[in-house]
Copies of this chain bind each other. A is one copy, B any other.
Amino acid sequence: MSVYALQKLFRDVNRKPAGWAGLLVAATVYAAPCLGQSSTVSDPDEARIEDIITASRILANEGILDSFGHVSARSAKRPDRFFMPRAMPPALVSRADIVEVGLDCKPVAPDAPRLNGERYIHCEIYKARSDVHSVIHTHDLAVIPFGVAGISLKPVVAQAGFLPLETPLFEIREANRSEKTRGMLVINAHLGEALARKLGANPVVLMRGHGNAVVGSSVRQATVRTIYTHINAQAQNAALALSPKITPLDEAELETNATENFDADRPWQNYKQRLPAGR
């Protein structure tokens, strides 16, 4: 066990609600020979909730989530339910803020705190995609310019090989049914369904003037995809400033064809260790 792992252990113990009580369990984990160990939590839903909290802090720390985005995870025990934080800044989310929500977008508990108005992004994607176990909605400033300028986001860096050749763009004006009530936010089932339809079988859908929604088979995969969508957008933006003619990845270079699989756990550990100790 390295000095680093030890320092990290103490930091984590101080940070986690469990406090010093969780020391023995945590020590066991950190002593594992591999960084990619799974959570210490035996309940699969608690493990997913722990990852929601870590993902929220990671994405806030990397400047991808602002005061409004949200990370959710489908329940492992009840696939017709999912977990997401109440309406609050993602950087501040802790265990007590997590709410269990049905696919009808209503909280399971009658006395649940106020939920995000845009929870319909999550419900409708979980309904449409049984393969999806995590949904992330961001206002990522790196991807917004693509939707506003009507330029396709394309995979240009190797690690964004999970993206399709063109990432779909959701134009909420096409989905809004009434001129009178239309706006920018996905605040009802009709709009959520239209967004899920635009997402289709893809991992990411851009939202014009708003951000994106990213999905994955786990919170960690969705988180790492969110980060590499961000990095890819920065790279494509800078490349287009140099020349209008760029070379994106082609069909054969996409991750789906890779002989060596993309390791989602490595970036997860990397971004986790970048979290400031006090937050």
Contacts and interface: CB of A to CB of B under 8 A. Distances in A.
A184 B148 contact: no
Interface in A209-257: 209-210, 231, 234-243, 245-250, 252-253, 257
A271 B240 contact: no
Contacts of A248: 148, 209
A67 interface: yes
A260 interface: yes
Interface stretch (A43-51, A84-92, A122-130, A194-202): A84-92
Interface in A257-271: 257-260, 263, 266-267, 269-271
Given A270-B91, A273-B91, A157 B240 contact: no
Contacts of A66: 159, 231, 267, 270
B241 A187 contact: no
A260 B185 contact: yes
Contacts of A270: 66-67, 89, 91-92
Report the copy number of this chain in the oligomer.
4
A107 interface: no
Nearest to A171: B247
Most buried by B among A92, A257, A267: A92
Nearest to A148: B239
Contacts of A145: 235, 238-239, 241-242
Contact of A240 (B150, B242, B260): B242
A42 interface: no
Contacts of A159: 66, 68, 139
Most buried by B among A89, A146, A277: A89
Given A184-B249, A260-B183, A35 B88 contact: yes
Contacts of A234: 141
14 contacts: A2-B17, A3-B17, A3-B19, A33-B113, A89-B267, A89-B269, A139-B157, A141-B235, A151-B242, A151-B243, A158-B210, A183-B252, A183-B253, A237-B238
